[in-house]
Amino acid sequence: MDKKELRSRGWFGKSGKDGFIYRAWMKNQGFPADEFEGRPVIGICNTFSELTPCNGHFRELAESVKRGVWEAGGFPLEFPVMSLGETLIKPTAMLYRNLASMDVEESIRANPIDGVVLLCGCDKTTPSLVMGASSVDIPTIVVSGGPMLTGRYRGKTIGTSDVWRFSEAYRQGQISQDELTTAEACMCRSSGHCAVMGTASTMACMVEALGLTLPENAAIPAADSRRKVIAHLSGRRIVDMVKEDLRLSQVLTRQAFENAIMLNAAIGGSTNFVIHLLAIAGRIGVELNLDDFDRLSAQVPLLVNLQPSGGYFMEDFYYAGGLPVVIKEMLSRIHGDIITVNGKTVAENCATAECFDPEVIGSLEKPVKELTGLVVVKGNLAENGAVLKPSASLKPELMQHRGPAIVFEDIDHYKARLDDPNLEMDENSVLVLKNVGPKGYPGMPEVGNMSIPKRLLEKGVMDMVRISDGRMSGTGFGTVVLHVSPEAAVGGTFALVQDGDMIELDVENRRLHLDVSDEELARRRANWQPLDLGYDRGYVNLYIKHVTQSHEGADMDFLIGGSGDVVTRDSH
Ligand code: FES
Ligand code: MG
């Protein structure tokens, strides 16, 4: 059944000095000689790290994968790659997504691996692994780590989106530091990633929607024994994928990307989805642009009632039937006939899916909300586009808004100025935060959902139009325009906004306009100076020089595309 010789034979199948070296040192781990005689070698790419708490259970998960690989006649070899934890890494894990993807790409290509299992969990670990693997393009299957169990605090369910609520309540003196400390322990009470439809859950749904996982992968809680079962089954399956030579590029077609976009709208996925999907498309060589997201999301209602757009958590989503239910409901709109990693089509994989809780998973006839997932707005303020998630807005009237700008030149200016009592503002003001884009921060942090100024909060204002060239956490909410491209740091019009300028947001007409004359903008542009961030060496210097704008996926320009899986030269 082998279509061609296994690539691992280029190491373990060699005779003489080279073969000796490739095998001898491996044998110090106690592998019998026949392991090297033609079993498919399966790499298990592990993002385990105690600094990435969401992936803290991955050593155990890898063991389940290995059982499946052994059973199917493969030879599993686990290897670590750079792991990006969302909560600890400063200034933002996004700064290192491309670096981690380089580690993944080079580790796969450089080693005797015939197929690879990607163990992904926390936000950036999924896109970085899929990006890296795409640039090599060998048989690949993804296993997600699964969400945490739903948090419980004083009889109520809580999750990551409550962090923002708790901190606002604390700012207003409604809860004490002691209560906050208790809430910390109540929220993250099991292994797994954020339990809301934040970026990690969005990424887990994305890989399932792309056909890169076995069905149901996205929602099984990390602590549920069925998470280990799907890891085990994925271990079995990757061995067959190697025999079938079913590569990533056969699954990641243009249609698969279209499916992922429509399904992301249906689940109310994170805005970060846009940037990561664009970057993956760039690696695998599929044409995709921001307009595709707007066009394909436009008519899709929200079908999943999960925080931050709705009320429930990933655990509830799994018990209600999980992503296969959503895929089945969407079959009339998506491509059902394309192949996925298990060799079956999208339609076949969801054929027996059933919704067990219509409160949690709605239908096209009875959606959770009519408002769709993502909208792309353009105009002189964002010539290459900006992104907004209407379903996360707390005040739908703001979808059509004109108001005077309050400008923060960078994050420090924002922090110093937000609660300045001399600052004239009201609920019609538009908060503008510059220099939080890919180059400007650097690394495009999740600070776009700026806090509402204290004195407006006290007046009961819960939402305002906020615009930035940064991102927001997938767990954030509000009328927040993100990813403005070109960003301020490269001298886009966004860099030229000043206090009091009138800004118009018109979601229906997809418009974001700065009401300042072209002559005035030309005058301001002539005086504009680029920032000096002071990074003159190392990775960050490389990143700033090569990172693309957000509408292009914020990948490095030299990483777009792939180099395949061939390495011709031996090491000694
Ligand atoms: Fe890891 Fe939210 S912090 S998924
Ligand atoms: Mg996040």
| Closest ligand 1 atom number to CA of residue 52 | 1
Q: Is the pLDDT at 171 greater than 90, yes or no? A: no
The amino acid occupying position 562 is G
Q: Using the mean position of ligand 2's atoms as its centre, give its distance from the Cα of residue 48 in Å.
A: 18
State pLDDT tens for residues 275-291. 999 999 999 999 999 99
458 pLDDT above the threshold of 90: no
Nearest atom in ligand 1 to 53's CA = 1
Tell the residue nearest (CA) to atom 1 of ligand 1. Answer: 122
Which atom of ligand 1 is found nearest the CA of 475? Answer: 2
pLDDT at 168 over 90: no
Tens of pLDDT, residues 417-456: 999 999 999 999 999 999 999 999 999 999 999 999 989 9
Q: What pLDDT score was predicted for residue 531?
A: 84
- For residue 193, the CA-to-ligand 2 centroid distance in Å is 10
- In sequence order, what DSSP letters do the residues of 127-186 get, joined into one string? HHHHHHHHTT--SEEEEE--BPPPEEETTEEE-THHHHHHHHHHHTTSS-HHHHHHHHHH
Mutation probe of ligand 1 site: the residue of 123, 191, 306 with most atoms within 8 A of C-beta: 123
* Predicted local confidence at residue 165, as pLDDT: 84
What pLDDT, on the 0 to 100 scale, is given for residue 270? 93
Q: Which one of 126, 187, 194 would you pick to mutate in the ligand 1 pocket, going by the greatest count of ligand atoms within 8 A of its CB?
A: 194
CATH 3.65.10.10 fits 39-149+190-349, yes or no: no
pLDDT for 2: 45
Using alpha carbons, list the distances in angstroms from residue 382 to 104, 386, 486.
33, 6, 6
Give the pLDDT confidence of 483-517 residue by residue, as tens digits.
999 999 999 999 999 999 999 999 999 999 999 99
* CA of residue 398 to ligand 2 center, whole Å: 25
Report the separation in Å between the CA atom of 190 and the middle of ligand 2, taken as the mean of its atom positions. Answer: 18
| Nearest ligand (C-alpha, residue 271) | 2
Give the ligand 1 atom nearest the CA of 160.
2
The pLDDT of residue 164 is: 81
pLDDT at residue number 370: 87
CA dihedral 52, 57, 59, 60 (to 10 degrees): -170
Question: Mutation test of ligand 1: which of 47, 49, 122 has the most ligand atoms closer than 8 Å to its C-beta?
Answer: 122
**Residues within 5 Å of ion ligand 2, judged at the Cβ atom:** 86, 123, 199, 473
Nearest protein CA to atom 2 of ligand 1, as residue = 194
Closest ligand 1 atom to residue 193 Cα is: 4
Q: What percent of the chain has pLDDT over 90?
A: 90
- pLDDT given for residue 299 in this prediction: 85
Distance between CA atoms of residues 510 and 485, nearest Å: 15
Tell me what pLDDT residue 1 has: 40
Two structure tokens written together for 527 = 């005086």
476 CA from centroid of ligand 2 (Å): 9
State ipTM.
0.91
Chain segment 522-552, per-residue pLDDT in tens: 999 999 998 888 899 999 999 999 999 999 9
Q: Residue with the nearest Cα to atom 3 of ligand 1?
A: 86
The least confident of 38-47, 342-351, 376-385, 456-465 is 456-465
Report which bound ligand comes closest to the CA of 92.
Answer: 2
pLDDT digits (tens, 9 = 90+) for 43-88: 999 999 999 999 999 999 999 999 999 999 999 999 999 999 999 9
Q: In this predicted structure, what is the pLDDT of residue 132?
A: 98
Question: What CA–CA distance (Å, rounded) separates 79 from 47?
Answer: 9
* Mean pLDDT in residue range 386-401: 92
Phi, psi of 557 (to 5 degrees): -60, -35
What's the CA gap between 565 and 470, in Å, rounded? Answer: 35
pLDDT above 70: percentage of residues in the chain: 99
pLDDT of 566: 96
C-alpha–C-alpha distance, residues 491 and 484, integer Å: 12
- Which ligand sits closest to the CA of 84? 1
Token pair 């353009």 is at which residue? 378
Spatial distance between the Cα atoms of 329 and 333, rounded to a whole number of angstroms: 9
- The CATH number for 374-536+543-550, chosen from 3.50.30.80, 3.40.440.10, 3.40.50.150, 1.10.645.10, is 3.50.30.80
Whether 296 shows a pLDDT value over 60: the answer reads yes
pLDDT-derived band of residue 160, with 50, 70 and 90 as boundaries?
Answer: confident
Q: Average pLDDT, stretch 111-120?
A: 98
Could you read off the pLDDT of 321-359 as tens digits, one per residue?
999 999 999 999 999 999 999 999 999 999 999 999 999
Average model confidence (pLDDT) across the chain: 95
Instruction: Tell me how far the alpha carbon of residue 459 lies from the centroid of ligand 1, in angstroms.
Output: 32
Which protein residues touch ligand 1 with a CB less than 6 Å away? Answer: 54, 86-87, 122-123, 160, 193-194, 198, 200
Residues of the chain with CATH 3.40.50.2300: 39-149+190-349
CA 261 to centroid of ligand 1, rounded, Å:
22
The alpha carbon of 269 and the centre of ligand 1 are apart by a number of angstroms equal to 14
Ligand 1: which atom is nearest the Cα of residue 86?
Answer: 3
Residue ranges, comma separated, of all CATH 3.50.30.80 domains in the chain are 374-536+543-550
Task: State the distance from the centre of ligand 1 to the C-alpha of 422, rounded, in angstroms.
Answer: 37
